[in-house]
Structure 1
Amino acid sequence: MSNPQQYTFILEPVYGLSGNLFAWELLTRFVDDADIKHMRNPAREAVFFSHLPVEQKWQLFLRQIDQLERLYQKGFRQIISVNINRDIVSSIFSDEKTQQRLALLPFFRFEISSFFIARFTRADLLILKGLAKIAPLWLDDFGPGYSSLTMMSSGIFECVKIDKAFFWQYGESHIFDLLLGHLNDLCSGVIIEGVENQRHIEILAHKAIYGMQGYHWDGVYLDDFINKSWVATSTSDPCGKQLCQKKNLRSFM
């Protein structure tokens, strides 16, 4: 890549209602915007990624996978989700070696924005089912305008993240509770994004959710995790439910 030092990788934690940390989202930040405690710079990020050539996006993704392989080889045993777009998906499907590498990471998750499948055609469904053969799928940004329960009814998503704007506007309403009920019938768990203070945690304390994510908790630099010593455990279940291990998905295509 032309300037490999301009960004860094940060892990943003996902907590359960009981306070257990069970998953992370891998984020890419400009080095001078990489404040793990406060606000990211979405305007600069959007420009950065939208203007990257396809090959550079792919090389960035491969570097993420290189780093995750190092982390898991040291005994780390928690879920990490990585965001992908259509360019990355196309490259994955054309690279059998990368598919094999991803399949060997039992705690790896593809995270797909609702923008990816805003219209949700049959072609989108086939793409997602192909991806689910490689690693479980998490849906990001679930909210009005870009998501539908019809899309969810395919059963293709292991976990769904509700958009922070939707949570902030409807989190205390009956509509929100109804949505959680429907989503929990269609996937293994719901994560709420945009949790930024104790009040948000109190709102969610008795909701039918699996996890919470947001600036209420500090992130960590991926390099710091890789440099730490981890003790592998084969009998514990740090993530809960069935999310820790990949599902045995039936053949879709």
Structure 2
Amino acid sequence: MKIQFDTAFNSSYLCQPVYTIDGKLLAIELICRFSSADSKLVMPTELVLNLLTPQQLLRFLNEQQIWAGEHARWFSDNQVILNISVEEKQVALLLEDENLRNAFSMHTFIHLNLSESFPRLSEGKNNQQLVALKQYFPLCLENFGSGTINMVPVFDHLFQWVKLDKNLFWQLCEGEHFTIVMPSLIRNVNRFCRNIVVDGLDSQDYFDALRKVEIQGVKGLLWPGVEPAELDSLLVRPTQFH
């Protein structure tokens, strides 16, 4: 997708892996990048999305569902989840446009990511937009524990997946009571959501710290994202899990 500001920016994608604690590829997070034609300028994705008109945002969503369709066989054959992040304006378009919504929901491997900054998330099941979205898609709460919201949306079983905020994980890991606090946190979340992913595994020490913690997924700089043409490389079990 080409976006024209003072400079023309083109969208491209990076595939960020999420692995099970045993090293099987669990999910791919589809990361969008906006860069100038000469690749010398990169514009933050969040900033670009905030500047898009509704028509441009619709084109962007269509581009993502087309990408999913082009790779549907790969995701289905390998039983891998595709995580796509959405903000409030994108959610509104998905709920308003039945054709767009159907184009997304026909791919059952697509899960939608919502960050803790999503408006009125703390209202839980009283947030009608959130409840409506859950009727069509499996939802994942990103940055859980970043301090933006309360536990209500988790208590209300609105999310099939919860991804622990990496800064919270680092803070807990560096604390002297990590082996007590971390399992306790996981147990409490598991009462309402059985699928927990921990972000921030950027070193072997962080990886080793989670060996005895019962979680469903891990992600971090230990396993960098790849171009879509290299998706097959992510199916190989990383050395950390050997």
Shift of 1:20: 1.1
Shift of 1:62: 1.4
Secondary structure at the counterpart of residue 220 of structure 1: coil
Contact 2:3–2:9 (8 Å) recurs in 1? no
Give deviations 1:15-55, integer Å, cap 9, x for gaps. Answer: 111111111111111347xxxxxxxx8x8334333323333
Aligned to 2:158: 156
What amino acid does structure 1 have at the position aligned with 2:3? S
Separation in 2, partners of 1:97, 1:140: 27
Contact 1:102–1:134 (8 Å) recurs in 2? no
Secondary structure at the counterpart of residue 140 of structure 1: strand
Question: What's the TM-score once normalised by structure 1's chain length?
Answer: 0.78
Q: How many residue pairs align between the two structures?
A: 218
Percent identity of paired positions between Structure 1 and Structure 2:
22
1:58-97 superposed matches below 5 A: 58-73=58-73, 76=77, 77-97=79-99
Separation in 2, partners of 1:141, 1:31: 25
Contact 2:3–2:10 (8 Å) recurs in 1? no
Separation in 1, partners of 2:230, 2:58: 24
Q: 1:187 aligns with which of 185, 193, 198?
A: 193
Separation in 2, partners of 1:215, 1:198: 10
Secondary structure at the counterpart of residue 157 of structure 1: coil
Separation in 2, partners of 1:163, 1:115: 12
Secondary structure at the counterpart of residue 156 of structure 2: coil
Aligned to 2:210: 204
Separation in 1, partners of 2:84, 2:102: 16
What amino acid does structure 2 have at the position aligned with 1:135? F
Aligned to 1:20: 24
Structure 1 residue runs of 5 or longer lacking an equivalent are: 33-40, 229-253
Separation in 2, partners of 1:61, 1:9: 13
The 10-residue stretch of structure 1 (83-92 or 21-30) with the greater mean CA deviation from structure 2:
21-30
Aligned to 1:233: none
